[in-house]
Structure 1
């Protein structure tokens, strides 16, 4: 090929319309490849789970016990919702009589725990867990307790433990365990985050990644319009139930706590036995008028932060 022909090719390739088409095609192909990689990973995980489930032998007694537990839990949910409807009607009648009292709100930290419950979680309780973003065991989040939130907590009472945290606990959680979502900019981050371990942390197209909260510039960028510019402001807003409490809680991802017991040695086995005995104290009552499953949250999560 002569030099003149090469120069004409270069001139043709430098056409803005051709460059725009190339960029559009590259973006489209990249998104398609990402979606295909995600579907392949999900399909691989589904097949692995099906293989494990098919190889596992289930006794008839376990199937019957699971069904009975599911029925009891559904009855509990119906009883709780019926009680809440009656209470709501009574409050409306009291409000018409102008007997309103100032509602006292307080801070709660909710942790999802392992339970001996064998049945399926009812739909209403699962929706509340999804709203609170407690999709896994040992995940926790902050909540402002009031008359609107309390009925929801009674729906998930058997699956969680709640308590009022101290200022030191709030500070330790945010400084040691706080994580946030940030958009992915570099292509290297996209390839790193395409592993099966991080598949639950990614949305379609791999548009964000989850990183520890260690930069005040990120806080100021996301929450600066609400007057929150650093982690100390987040701690203050959450502990004092400030005006920007909801924005700060939404900005933070659910706190993933450590396993209370690790290892398989004799000492770990003894700790697991002690933990199993202690977990019996956290069994919640199925009555609606029973108190919430409250504990001393500071000591409960002391070794898990």
Structure 2
């Protein structure tokens, strides 16, 4: 009996696909797998970054506490030996503009522009050097300033802090914005920014330029005494040293 050869007839489900479509499907599958892997890697990197931020924040707290304890120890030692304790000169001042544009001489007006104190109740951080101290003396009738505490700096940045990016005023809503513009200086979070300002660190200039000048409100209860009289005469202008923190609290 002669052998019979069976030929398979393609069914409707065995439709041949073009090679281009197969390549596209393989490419899409590979892209999905790569995207999933990138997502996992991004989550891991974000977790590690948060851990670094928390460790830095804890370190800053310990440094501030150690500094406060050392200052208390020095005060007690000086008192016990009958001496006077003279604290170190402040490194940073917070300056608030009190007077408008009327009746301001050209030189103080220019200094106020250089300090970015364009409007009434604008506030900025200034690193105290010989040059900046001379500038502040020239504009004392128009501003008030003093040494801010770490708590005041933190409250200002968290509550009133805005970033200056491409001449735009952007709210600081996340650490990502800070890392994008200050990450190359080792500043990746708000706490890093606070620490750099408070300690007048090596990158103070870039950190301060990143911050838009603070727009404060009039103090609760109004100004005490005459607004344009010097602070030591019962007014509000000039150097008020540590009492600037009370003024910041009233205006923040």
TM-score where L is the length of structure 1 = 0.48
Which runs of no fewer than 5 residues in structure 2 stay unpaired? 1-87
**Structure 2 CA distance for aligned equivalents of residues 133 and 280 of structure 1:** 20
Question: How far 1:280 sits from its partner (Å)?
Answer: 6.1
**Structure 2 CA distance for aligned equivalents of residues 138 and 294 of structure 1:** 16
Question: How far 1:160 sits from its partner (Å)?
Answer: 0.5
Which runs of no fewer than 5 residues in structure 1 stay unpaired? 1-102, 184-207, 262-270, 286-290
CA offsets, 1:186-239, max 9 Å, x none? xxxxxxxxxxxxxxxxxxxxxx53121112111111111111111110000110
1:107 maps to 2:92: yes
Q: 2:145 aligns with which of 146, 150, 162?
A: 162
Backbone CA RMSD of aligned residues: 2.6
Q: Which residue number corresponds to residue 248 of structure 2?
A: 301
Q: Which residue number corresponds to residue 4 of structure 1?
A: none
Rg (Cα) greater in structure: 2
Question: How far 1:246 sits from its partner (Å)?
Answer: 0.8
Residue 284 and residue 260 in structure 1: after superposition, are their counterparts in 2 closer, same or farther (change >3 A)? Answer: same
Equivalent positions of 1:2-81 (< 5 A) are none
Q: Any conservation in 2 of the 1:110–1:160 contact (CA below 8 Å)?
A: yes
Q: Any conservation in 2 of the 1:138–1:256 contact (CA below 8 Å)?
A: yes
Question: How far 1:276 sits from its partner (Å)?
Answer: 5.3
Q: 1:222 aligns with which of 174, 181, 204?
A: 181
Runs of 4+ in 1 over 3 A off after TM superposition: 278-285
**Structure 2 CA distance for aligned equivalents of residues 281 and 246 of structure 1:** 31
TM-score where L is the length of structure 2 = 0.58
Report how many residues are paired.
161
Question: How far 1:292 sits from its partner (Å)?
Answer: 5.0
